[in-house]
Structure 1
Amino acid sequence: MHDRPASAMGFDEADLRSRIGRMHPVEGVTAVRRSLWGDHVTEPSLASMIEGLTLRPAAVLIPLVLRESGTTVIFTRRNDHMRAHAGQIAFPGGKIDPEDGGPLVAALREAEEEIGLDRRLVEPLGQLDSYISNSGYEIVPVVGLVQPDPPLQPNPDEVADVFEVPLGFLMAPDNHLFEMREYKGLTRRVYAMPYEERRIWGVTAGIVRLFYEQVFA
């Protein structure tokens, strides 16, 4: 796919709704959709390792906040004391439990548990292809519209901070950088998207890139 400048894209509600057809419907989805996307796309040396993993289903919510000044995306910064991915920037999300019945319920439940986002304030638009992480998860990103200034109550045991990034910034391919990171003693390539004093990288940045490729490219 060919990158287009951000000025050629729209990010208002009408434009987002016009792109629903580029996503998969969320209604009735009860299983993870297999995907070619994942950490192994950015770093091909991970492909053989990922092939041997028993993948665990997970889901994240990509919450799009419809502001007059422009659509933004809600992110979290994980608590520094978390056992996994401490201090990293992430979307609200986690494992799909059997009682969830699928990615949509799991993503909305996790958003409620992590940041206090009432699921009734989220209008699901669709879901993206799943994203395979080298940690053994097959992650389904669910895209949802959120009205401005939803009342949030972050869970301090999991979330150190909640913040928003303009969708226009995230969907500009010039902001999709590569970094080299150490993983299990090896140097590997990951996406990174520095924004102000924050650094979105790794799986979260990979999912942002997937969102761009599938919906905006």
Structure 2
Amino acid sequence: MTFILDRFDLSAFVQSTLDEDLGPTGRDVTSEAVIPEDAIFSGVMDSRHDAVIAGLPIAEAFFRYLDPDVEIETLVAEGEAVAAGTDIMRLKGKGRAMLTAERSALNTVQHLTGIASMTSEYVQKIAGTGCTLLDTRKTIPGLRVLEKYATRMGGAQNHRMGLWDAAMIKDNHVAVAGSVGEAVRRARDAGVEKIICEVDRVDQIEP
């Protein structure tokens, strides 16, 4: 399965996540001690709650990193709403590899699915109002691209991705510039292509 996000290196993410879990020895000592090397497992990933699914391609990458021959059947689409108890992925492969990758894969799917599911609830609440739900930069460091991907799966639209792709003028900027109008003028004169300005009062909108 091809999974491409702008400014996100899936292979590097998978490797660094597994490196964190496997530590300096690079070993899963429990699986090595308990599971025979030639054991083949079959498994199913399901949803324990009603949810909007996100992150399955990343989970697949974790399993394939440790077992390139693993058989994986993805049963639902990214962004699909499922009922509690729905099977979302089936796997068959090397037992040790499957257990070693399991937690990293599940953590990622659970985190992104949680974001997508909550986002979807807000999107449904404002349906028919003509409003668009946007996300923010208030993301966990290192996970912004994935978390903002999850909000899209839940039906929101990405706001700015960082400090680099738009000017966002807030109360502190206005205070230094002296007024909303002056702050916007400075951003415009600096050649910023996209300018967003927050206001506290209706009378700030016109300037």
Q: TM class, shorter-chain normalised?
A: under 0.3
- CA radius of gyration, larger in: 2
- TM-score between the two structures when normalised by the length of structure 1: 0.27
Q: Which has the higher helix share?
A: 2
Q: Which has the higher strand share?
A: 1
